[in-house]
Structure 1
Amino acid sequence: MKKLGQEFKEFIIKGDALNLAVGVVIGSAFTAIVNSLVTNLITPLIELFISLFLDRGETMDDALSILSVTINGVLFNFSAIISAIITFIITGFVLFLMIKAINRAKRMTTKPVAEKEEEVAKPSTEELLAEIRDLLKEQK
């Protein structure tokens, strides 16, 4: 039982759990921003576009009635589905850009270190030739 408690303590202290918690909180805040953007900007623009070109009524709800279907008194609201799809695409694209930037930053910081290690690890041509000469002398 002590081993399990010790492992949990190490897991919490390492920072992995803290990084995960911070990621979840930031993700939730970002999702709220994207939802607000889609609900308050993109969806009204779609509604405006539909109302201008289809001339389906004076209010936006009348204009969006083309995106809703009622069957046997049950309303299927496709504008909400379109809003959710747009939210998903925007969230996914921004996360893609963030991960791409993080990976680029990691490559930029680790590349010079790796190059220096390779340069140090490689012996010079003269050193290799000297080793070959010494080995040949030992064989004779």
Structure 2
Amino acid sequence: MQKITTCLWFDGQAEEAMNHYTSIFKNSRVLSVMRWPKGHADEGKVLVTTFELDGVPFQALNGGPQYKFTEAISLSIDCKAQAEVDHFWTRLTEGGGEPGPCGWLKDKFGVSWQVVPEQLPRLLQDPDRAKAGRVMDAMMKMGKIEIDKLEAAAKG
């Protein structure tokens, strides 16, 4: 059992978010849906869900409108190829999500994500600092990261 689980605070969309996320990531599943008990003002409505995204546990809480998501915390997705970057970028921005700069986006619930091809950190950490600088400059001009453009920048 993992000691730390990310809990995401929603305003009534916990179940919708869980179902959306588990439809996007392979090896994902719903673990539980806890509803308010009989006699409570919100009887039958979802309180907390638990689920896994590619084997990583999450909770979604319907906590109310007091708190909103910000870019101060984001979920980062490591991608092996452009097709994976494209898949996550498309699915997470659909339905009202917002593309952002440098591989960042907000989904329709306001959760911030980073969609990162595995080539990006390797190229940015290249010992050839001029090469790394060209890659950084290319990345700074992108929304969704495009691997072929990063590699072209690395070559100069």
Taking structure 2 as the reference length, the TM-score comes to 0.20
Which structure has the higher relative contact order (CA within 8 Å, separation 6+)? 2
Larger Rg: 1
Name the one with the larger helix percent. 1
Taking structure 1 as the reference length, the TM-score comes to 0.21
